[in-house]
Amino acid sequence: MISHLPPGIYPCWAEVSLSRLEENLGAIRRHVGASAVCCVVKADAYGHGAVAVSQFLQHLGVERFAVANIEEGAELRQNGIDAEILVLCGVPPSQERIAAEYDLAVSIHSVEECDRLIASEQALRAHLEFNSGMNRLGLSEVDLHSVRERLCGSRIQVTGAYSHLSSSDERDEMFSRQQLERFDAVTRGGGFGVRHIANSAGLRFGDALFDFVRVGIILYGYNPVPGEVAIDVKPVLHWKARPLRIDAVPSGSPISYSRTFITTRKSRVATLPVGYADGFSRKFSNSGYVLAEGQVCRVLGMVTMDMIVVDVTDVDVTMETEFSILNDKRNAAHLAADLGTIPWEVLCAIGARATRIYV
């Protein structure tokens, strides 16, 4: 994606393709039609860099963003994002004034939270979260209507209602259908402003689109249900490193901590500046690999906090070679499968030491 690493950059970096981000957004918009798109940029935009990603998406006409907490929302406001920002995890005590100062749309999940926000006397916009079956956060049907009534006459304006699909990536649609029916029945008839429930996997349900959809992982290039949602997206982030050292070692040489790997032949090894502090899991010790010149380079020994050692005996590499930790051929879904986890976790785990370079 880039031909030369900019000078002064530590040789472990992540390239974020803005052109791919734009293409993915376009594909999503075509799929959802009249429904608007709310871009989920919590957790530093799933590791892609929330500020730069949001600035670019706002340039493309995105009018809604979702974050996890007040701090994430305030950071976007401080960096020129003037679109609506919805805070999904609510407002902790003492942060009501900050939410109002930065004009953040807050989520209300309980009657107690509602009463506290009213008592703060801050002018706020709020989306009410209905618990349609996930049982993580959200109001019951009775409490949803109670909160709406309590807010009448207060300085808090209800501008939206939403819920969250817990099982939209499962082949069996029954529970998701039940959630959709509950949400629609409880919020139908007006008085709640905009309504939204669909996440990335929820795009498979045409009746889940409502006024807008909240897209996260699919925006960054990973379709959680490719057989169900006909949206072609590509990974936005590539993660790379250049070696700190390349050396020849004789047969019988121990590699890394605890000597868990001993070479069985004369070998050539490269030390890369990426470790578990950067999000490259320690579980890849003696089992993971990276790519160089399109060829597999196995991890030898333990993954350490800051470095790994890989076998380059059969690969023609130099100190200028770019080793790919994540690319199109080996992306976050592949690493996740090897780790027994999900692409979300792999992307969010990439540490801040890997400088984000926007292409």
Residues with a known catalytic role: 42, 257
Give the Cα separation of 353 and 359 in Å (integer).
18
Query: If DSSP codes are grouped into helix, strand and coil, which group holds residue 251?
Result: coil
- The sign of the torsion formed by the CA atoms of 54, 217, 23, 230 equals negative
Please give the full DSSP string across 279-295, using - where no structure is assigned.
T--GGGTTT-EEEETTE
Q: How far is CA 143 from CA 57, 111, 117, 129, in A?
A: 35, 7, 15, 10
Q: Crossing angle for the helix pair 18-32 and 50-59, nearest 10 degrees?
A: 60
* Residue 45 and residue 215 in contact, taking contact as beta carbons nearer than 8 Å: no
Rounded Cα distance, 154 and 148, in Å: 10
Distance of alpha carbon 21 from alpha carbon 128, whole angstroms: 30
Kindly list the strands in the beta sheet with 212-215, ordered across the sheet, starting from the edge strand earlier in the chain: 194-196, 156-162, 124-129, 105-108, 84-87, 64-67, 36-40, 212-215
Q: Which residues make Cβ contacts (< 8 Å) with residue 164, sequence separation at least 6?
A: 129, 132, 134, 136, 138, 197, 199
CA 83 to each of CA 51, 79, 93, 247: distance values in angstroms, whole numbers, following the listed order? 13, 12, 25, 52
